[in-house]
Amino acid sequence: MKIIMLGAPGAGKGTQAIMIADKYGIPHVSTGDIFRANIKNNTPLGQEAKTYMDKGMLVPDELTVKILLDRVAQDDCKNGYVLDGFPRTIVQADVLKDALNKLGDHIDHAINVDVPDENIIKRMSGRRACVKCGATYHIEHVPPKKEGICDNCGEALVLRDDDKPETVKKRLDVYHEQTQPLIDYYNKEGILKNVDGTQEMNKVFEDITKILG
Ligand code: AP5
Ligand code: MG
C-alpha cells in the first residue's frame, strides 16, 4: 500500500504516519526527517537544506525529488510506504506520478489531515522532536515518560529551529500557496480522503484506519 499524507505544517502528518507505518508494516518516509538527519550530521545536503528550512521555505524541487526517489527505490519500500511531507508542490507530485507510472504502479490513498491555521500555531510551540529516531512529542498532549528524553531511543529532545512562531507563520503561507493545491490534484485523481485532524490523535487514527481498511 502506498500512501501520501497531506496537511499543513503541524497538522499531525508525522504523528499519524508513524502509527500507520507501525500498523501496516510499511516504512515511514519523511523528507523533513531525512533533511534534519543530514543537518545533524552536517552533510552538504544538510547544509543546503538548512538555509531554506530555517526560513520556513521549501527546499528546491530538484534536490527533494532526487532524495525521495532514491529512498523509495530501496528494498524496504517494495511493499509500499507512507510518505510524510512529500509531495509538497505540483512539480513533486507529477515527478512521483511519472516515476510510479513507469513501474506500472500508483499511489493508493492521499490522506488530508485537516487542521485550521489557528490550532497549528498553538501545537507547534509545544512540540518536541527526536532527531535520532524521528519520534514526536507534545509537552501537553503527548509528553515523553522522562522530560526532555525520547522514550524510544533515549536521545535528548529538541524544539525544532523552524518551530518559532514567525517561522511557523511563513511555513503556513508557503503551505497555502504551494502545497494546498495538491488537495485538488489528488481529488481529481480520485484518491483523496479527508480526516478531521483537530480530534484527539487516536480518534484521527481510527478514522484513517477506516479508510485504509
Ligand atoms: P516537515 O518536517 O515535513 O514539516 P511540516 O510539514 O512543516 O510538518 P511538521 O513536521 O511540522 O508537522 P506534522 O504535520 O508532521 O505534525 P506532527 O505530527 O509533528 O518539513 C520541514 C521543512 O523541511 C519544510 O518547511 C521544508 O523546508 C523542508 N521540506 C520537507 N519536505 C519537503 C518537500 N517535499 N519539498 C520541499 N521542502 C521540504 O504534530 C505537530 C504537533 O502536534 C506535535 O507536537 C504532536 O505531538 C501534536 N499533535 C499531533 N496530532 C495531534 C492531535 N490530534 N491533537 C493534539 N496534538 C497533536
Ligand atoms: Mg512532521
- For residue range 121-147, what is the model confidence (pLDDT) as tens digits? 888 889 999 989 989 999 998 999 999
Give the domain range for residue 105. 2-115+170-212
Q: What is the dihedral of CA 135, 43, 160, 147, to 10 degrees?
A: 50
Inform me whether the pLDDT recorded for 61 exceeds 90: yes
pLDDT value at residue 207: 98
pLDDT value at residue 42: 97
**Band of residue 22 on the pLDDT scale cut at 50, 70, 90:** very high
Name the one residue in this structure whose C-alpha cell is 517561522: 167
pLDDT value at residue 166: 87
Residue 131 resides in a domain: no
Strand boundaries in the chain, DSSP class E: 2-6, 28-30, 81-84, 109-114, 127-129, 136-138, 192-196
Query: How far apart are the C-alpha atoms of 97 and 107, rounded to whole Å?
Result: 8
Residue 160 resides in a domain: no
Q: What percent of the chain has pLDDT over 90?
A: 90
Residue 65 resides in a domain: yes
What is the average pLDDT value for the chain, to the nearest integer? 96
CATH (domain of 29): 3.40.50.300
Using most ligand atoms within 8 A of CB, pick from 127, 162, 179 the residue to mutate for ligand 1: 127
Residue 86 resides in a domain: yes
Residue 142 resides in a domain: no
Inform me whether the pLDDT recorded for 6 exceeds 90: yes
Q: What ligand is nearest to the CA atom of residue 162?
A: 1
Residue 161 resides in a domain: no
Residue 208 resides in a domain: yes
Which numbered atom of ligand 1 lies nearest the CA of 31? 31
Residue nearest to atom 40 of ligand 1 (CA): 10
What is the rounded average pLDDT of the residues 28-54? Answer: 96
Number of domains making up the chain? 1
Q: C-alpha cell of 134? A: 524521528
pLDDT value at residue 122: 83
Residue 56 resides in a domain: yes
For ligand 1, is residue 9 a contact (CB within 6 Å)? yes
What is the rounded average pLDDT of the residues 30-55? Answer: 96
From the number of C-beta atoms within 10 Å of its C-beta (0-12, 13-18, 19+), residue 5 rates as buried
For ligand 1, is residue 138 a contact (CB within 6 Å)? yes
